[in-house]
Amino acid sequence: MDAGVASFAAAGQGFGSPMEVWAAIQADFANLNSPSALSAFLQVLMIDLVLAGDNAIVVGALAAGLPPRIGRK
């Protein structure tokens, strides 16, 4: 386990300051230069985009079936 994650889990609290959060983000993305890490990141990104589009379609379909007075809200 990463030392930052271990200290986070042991403390039972957030990272703290915005600079500590930014340092953790940079450490997480530091290995994107390897092909396997980049591939995994892009797969997660594509899945997220597909699911977001699916949600938009469902919400649009549900909103289309609402009565006009409720649909304006």
**CA-to-CA distance for 23 and 20, rounded, in angstroms?**
5
pLDDT of amino acid 73? 64
**CA-to-CA distance for 68 and 66, rounded, in angstroms?**
6
pLDDT at 5 over 60: no
pTM over 0.75: no
Tens digit of each residue's pLDDT (9 = 90 or more) over 7-36: 555 555 666 889 999 988 888 888 888 898
Q: Mapped to the 3 state alphabet, what secondary structure does the chain carry? A: CCHHHHHHHHHCCCCCCHHHHHHHHHHHHCCCCCHHHHHHHHHHHHHHHHHHHHHHHHHHHHHHCCCHHHHCC
Q: Break the chain into its structural domains and give their ranges.
A: 1-30, 32-73
